[in-house]
Chain A
């Protein structure tokens, strides 16, 4: 079974704080992703990484950065948290299945910025 873990389930931070969200997968997947999920909008891709030290912007990278120093770990960084970054953050890793890229998600981190 694929296992993707995230460092926190719930997090409350103040505006302007630097926030680190950690994600670890144990299946040696090369591809890892960070999404945010907001009601009515579906999942939106923030950043993804296809290899160690490689990263590419997704649809909504503004206000975020990422780090991938080891294959199993992909971190999302909010340099200066703002209230509009209050959201559910989901990390995923993927493999190529018969039908294409299958993504496996961590449990999510519900971040509240006050």
Chain B
């Protein structure tokens, strides 16, 4: 079993749709959680950290469920520019312990 698992997609949604991604992790001792965005042939960029209480940044909402060991990302009112691969990242609070999911690909269509 992979340490961090994501549905690879692709998710193809129309502009304006709401889309949600889930990610499960295997290490119950994990402490930090993030979503990164990666555009085609570009590097991953930090989208948002995920806090225990859940957090929102504009159209993006991240949730953490420690009991079930999953995190989620909700994108409301999708834009064409949201098309990218979204990486779930889990950290056990050590320098070398960042675990990356393989990513979920999103395509937003006009």
Contact = CB atoms under 8 A, between A and B. Distances in A.
Contacts of A107: 42-43
Contacts, number: 66
28 contacts: A31-B95, A33-B98, A35-B100, A40-B8, A42-B2, A42-B100, A42-B102, A43-B87, A48-B96, A50-B95, A90-B44, A94-B95, A97-B49, A99-B32, A99-B33, A99-B49, A100-B32, A100-B49, A100-B91, A100-B93, A101-B32, A101-B91, A101-B98, A102-B49, A103-B46, A107-B42, A108-B42, A110-B41
Contacts of B70: none
B45 interface: yes
B106 interface: no
Given A50-B95, A99-B32, A107-B43, 6 more contacts: A42-B4, A42-B100, A90-B43, A94-B95, A97-B49, A105-B45
B44 A101 contact: no
Nearest to A103: B98
B60 interface: no
A48 B95 contact: yes
Interface residues of A, number: 28
Interface of A is mostly: strand
Contact of A99 (B8, B34, B95, B98): B34
A102 B8 contact: no
B50 interface: yes
B51 interface: yes
A101 B93 CA distance: 7
B42 A43 contact: no
B44 A105 contact: yes
A46 B70 CA distance: 26
A94 to B, nearest CB: 7
